[in-house]
Amino acid sequence: MKKRDFGWLVSLPFYAVHVAAVVGVMLVGFSWKGVALALALYYVRMFGVTGGYHRYFSHRTYRTSRAFQFFLALLAQSSVQKGALWWAAHHRDHHKYSDTPKDPHSYRDYGFWYSHVGWILSTETEDTDYSRISDLARYPELRWLNNWHVVPAVVLAVGLWLVGSWPALVWGFFVSTTLLWHGTFTINSLSHIWGKRRYATTDYSKNNPVLAIVTMGEGWHNNHHYYPRSVRQGFHWWQIDMTYYVLRALALVGIVWDLHVPSQKVIDGDVEVRVKKPARALAPQVETETSQVPVPVAVVEALSTPALSEAAAE
């Protein structure tokens, strides 16, 4: 495994939040109200990660107003996973170089721990590559928020303390954030290890219904790597995708629009487009969610940087 340099400035606050969550619960005591608050803020902010960081900023799978675009960045960054531009730039590289040494968090090359959490603490991943996100970098408010990425999280933490004192801060911020981090990180690690492959993509992505519940739909990871442009990652009615349901509701009231969904031909695996990235060759035999059958190889384009004409916020 490749050695990486981990910066104390980044690592210490990360570990401190974990310690504060454990010690804080010991001090303020267990309560079901605390658990409810932690879970509520977990899923609200998980939507910021999945519907904001991922499906909007990284893949531009739908359109929205400039004001709601900024709100999405605020909500996403309350998860303390750095700036929206930083997140999108690294995720686009993940799709371009999935499961190769250039992938920011390749389990196959760097191991489970690094793919799960080590990569985000590495000094090698601290910078934002603005060339990967030129469609987003033209917004000064997003660049400012990217530079001051801890502001939304600090505002949330202070607000919780003012409203509910230490119990609200411990459960609503420290416990919830710790769970949110590891829930999000399972997609970088476990979703490339544990599950079944419906589509023969050029990486090791897998579908996992358990992780789909934990991450509001991101667990249908093989579907996503097969067709990254889709706002809907659960391709079938039984593939629960809470992020998509929320976005559909927002579309009904006009907050978001132009949700890009896969055609039936795409879902059936009958799409072939040229690969834009060098990738390891995988066996054309893949395992479906219901049985093991040969599936035609769908060599799918990464689509990591959508066209600006489709992506620009209005």
- Number of C-beta neighbours around residue 179 at 10 A: 17
Does the residue 39 lie in any domain? yes
226/191 Cα distance (integer angstroms)? 14
User: Is 33 within the bounds of a domain?
Assistant: yes
**Domain-located, residue 3:** no
| Structural domain contains residue 2 | no
Listed residue (28, 23, 80, 74) closest to 52, CA to CA: 74
Q: What is the pLDDT of residues 152-164, one digit of tens each?
A: 999 999 999 999 9
Residue 178 domain-assigned?
A: yes
The predicted model scores a pTM of 0.86
pLDDT digits (tens, 9 = 90+) for 107-152: 888 888 888 988 888 878 888 999 999 999 999 999 999 999 999 9
Q: Tell which residue, 160, 107, 116, 136, has the closest CA to residue 1.
A: 107
- pLDDT(97) > 60: yes
Mean pLDDT, rounded, of the chain: 86
Q: Which helix (H) or strand (E) holds 245?
A: helix 242-252
Average pLDDT of span 38-42: 98
CA 38, 191, 219: angle at the middle one, nearest 5?
Answer: 55
Distances (CA, A) of 11 to 69, 112, 173, 286: 29, 18, 18, 38
Of 94-103, 187-196, 198-207, 298-307, the poorest mean pLDDT is in 298-307
* Number of compact structural domains in the chain: 1
Residue 275 pLDDT > 60: no
Tell me, yes or no, whether 280 lies in a domain.
Answer: yes
CA 37/CA 301 separation, integer angstroms: 41
Compute the average pLDDT of residues 239-268: 96
Domain, as residue range, for 251: 8-311
Span 70-78, average pLDDT? 98
| pLDDT recorded at residue 314 | 56
Q: Is residue 27 predicted with pLDDT exceeding 70?
A: yes
> Residue 62: pLDDT above 80?
yes
| Span 182-203, average pLDDT | 93
Coil vs helix vs strand at 183: helix
Q: 4 falls in which pLDDT band (50, 70, 90)?
A: low
Model confidence band, residue 272 (pLDDT cutoffs 50, 70, 90):
low
1 within some domain:
no
Residue 282: pLDDT over 60: no
Is residue 158 in a domain?
A: yes
pLDDT at 41: 98
